[in-house]
Chains A and B, each alone.
Chain A
């Protein structure tokens, strides 16, 4: 049985099912509220959800039972009396050591929790980084959306921030440096300095069996790093479009990645009305379209950056993604064939397996 936590414009939906057939809605929480992201901590089983009320601002909530009582986490705020307010929490990720969780948000901020998500603390080094006055938001805000721990090395993290590029730490967040070598922004003038950090990263993941390898979906471009995010190589030339948002990979295969191309920056729907996931098994040298069972015509879907995830690995790899149309699609055979897991949900913001 696979559990999907689907964050939508109108609440959290907890789906359960087996690959190949429609999933059932087992619980709904935060009815009517935008749930940007929800995850289940695999170590504790605790659920965490990011909810941004248009009236009352962004909060993180936690619960053991999605249909039970949710508790508001403490400390999810910027320093009082400043000139900025927290706009949104984009992502929550389990750290490499027990009990640690990270949350990323707008305006380009990182929070850490050492107690499983009940209390959070702002990462001051990133908040007070001397380059921050020059940071520019992307269209979705100044969003810290990708947090990539290094298995077995809690001090090492990579972050993706739109539009401030890749950030790396080796000391648990005491200091931060850029990891932007090789990223090329087509939306900047040719005269832009080579060391610019106006870089719109859309999504980033690490291959757990080869942690120095990362894959990145950029605002125009798909990239691979073989040196832990210090430098990047473009690998998207074979795709029908290298614009898109989400990305995932097969943990068993460091040469694997999956992306869902959208037509272009100006036309953020599946190209040609066909929904296709593209898979590489040779680190981006070639890409194979995977669409057996996905809508093949008249389907102009938008898949957001947090709306694609996986469960299992290798031949048992399951893939799931949701669209703002309210559809959720799944594959139980690593993308070879697909089925509709749910339809007619509210617009899907995030999909996470548990």
Chain B
């Protein structure tokens, strides 16, 4: 299973747990699986359209990924708020 890593308020909403092993073939599938597993995260990473919020960045093994980026079972997925400001 791929592991989704959370920090800050997202980690708190997910019961204080940082690492979440989940099944999914793409980033989008993993994040939907994460919401099912941790309902308190609903609406925080994905909006009502099922789209990753504009200022949330997702990385696969350190590389920037998008909603449809494929994910392998051993991958590590980091979910981070985007850097804002200058």
Point out residues on A near B: beta carbons under 8 Å: 54-57, 59, 77-86
B-chain residues with CB within 8 Å of residue A81 when the two chains form the complex:
48-50
For A84, list chain B residues within 8 Å (CB).
48-49
Shortest distance from the beta carbon of A120 to any chain B beta carbon, whole Å: 12
Which of B10, B45, B51, B82 interacts with A85 by CB under 8 Å? B51
B36 at the interface (CB under 8 A from A): no
Closest CB in chain B relative to A236 CB, distance in Å: 38
| B residues in contact with A54, CB < 8 Å | 55, 84
Which A residues touch B43, using CB under 8 A?
A: 56-57, 59, 77
Contacts of B86 in A (CB 8 A): none
Closest to A81 in B: B50
Among A54, A78, A79, chain B packs the most CB atoms within 10 A around the CB of A54
Contacts of A56 in B (CB 8 A): 9-10, 43-45, 53, 56, 81
Binary contact track B40-68/A, C-beta < 8 Å → 1, others 0: 00011101111101011000000000000
Residue with the greatest number of chain B CB neighbours at <10 A, chosen from A57, A59, A79, A82: A57
Please determine whether A79 and B84 come into contact, CB atoms closer than 8 angstroms. no
Q: How far is the CB of B59 from chain A (nearest CB, A)?
A: 15
**Chain B residues bordering chain A, tally (CB within 8 A):** 16
Contact between B50 and A57, CB atoms less than 8 A apart: no
Instruction: Kindly provide the distance from the CB of A38 to the nearest chain B CB, expressed in whole angstroms.
Output: 19
Q: A85: which B residues are within 8 A, CB to CB?
A: 47-49, 51
Instruction: Report which of B48, B49, B50, B56 forms a contact with A55, defined as CB distance below 8 A.
Output: B56
CB-nearest residue of chain B to A76? B43
5 example contacts (A-B, Cβ-Cβ < 8 A) are as follows A54-B84, A56-B56, A81-B48, A83-B49, A85-B47
Chain B, Cβ-Cβ closest to A80: B48
Expressed in whole angstroms, the Cα–Cα distance for A65 and B4 within the complex equals 35
Tell me how far the C-beta of A106 lies from the nearest C-beta in chain B, rounded to whole angstroms: 13
Residues on A with C-beta less than 8 A from B48 are 77-82, 84-86
A80 and B53 contact, Cβ closer than 8 Å, known pairs A54-B84, A57-B43: no
Nearest 10 Cβ contacts at the A-B interface: A85-B47, A55-B81, A78-B48, A56-B44, A55-B55, A85-B48, A54-B55, A77-B48, A80-B48, A85-B49
Q: Give A32 Cβ to nearest chain B Cβ, in Å.
A: 11
On whether the beta carbons of B53 and A57 are closer than 8 Å, the reply is yes
Residue among A56, A85, A86 facing the most chain B CB atoms (10 A cut-off): A56
In the bound complex, what is the Cα–Cα distance between A84 and B49 (angstroms)?
6
Beyond A56-B44, A79-B48, A80-B50, list 18 extra A-B contacts (CB 8 Å): A54-B55, A54-B84, A55-B55, A55-B81, A55-B82, A56-B9, A56-B10, A56-B43, A56-B81, A57-B44, A77-B48, A80-B48, A80-B49, A81-B49, A81-B50, A82-B48, A83-B49, A86-B48
Residue of B nearest to A78 (CB): B48
Chain A residue at minimal CB-CB distance from B82: A55
> Which residue from chain A places its CB closest to the CB of B80 in the assembled complex?
A55
Distance to closest chain A CB from B52 (angstroms) = 11
Q: Which residues of A contact B49 (CB under 8 A)?
A: 80-85
A71 to chain B, nearest CB (A): 11
Bound: A82/B50 CA distance, A: 9
Assembly CA distance A78 to B50 (angstroms): 11
- Closest CB of chain A to B50's CB: distance in Å? 7
Residues of A close to B51: CB separation below 8 A: 85
Tell me which residues across on chain A come within 8 A of B50, comparing CB atoms.
Answer: 80-81
Residue of A with least CB distance to B53:
A57
Chain B residues whose C-beta falls within 8 Å of the C-beta of A80 in the assembled complex? 48-50
Contacts of A59 in B (CB 8 A): 43
Residue in B43, B44, B51, B56 whose Cβ sees the most chain A Cβ within 10 Å: B43
Chain B residues within 8 Å of A55, by CB: 53, 55-56, 81-82
Residue with the highest number of chain B CB atoms closer than 10 Å, among A54, A55, A78, A86: A55
> Which residues of A have CB within 8 Å of B10?
56
A157 to B61, CA, bound (A): 53
Shortest B67–chain A CB gap in Å is 14
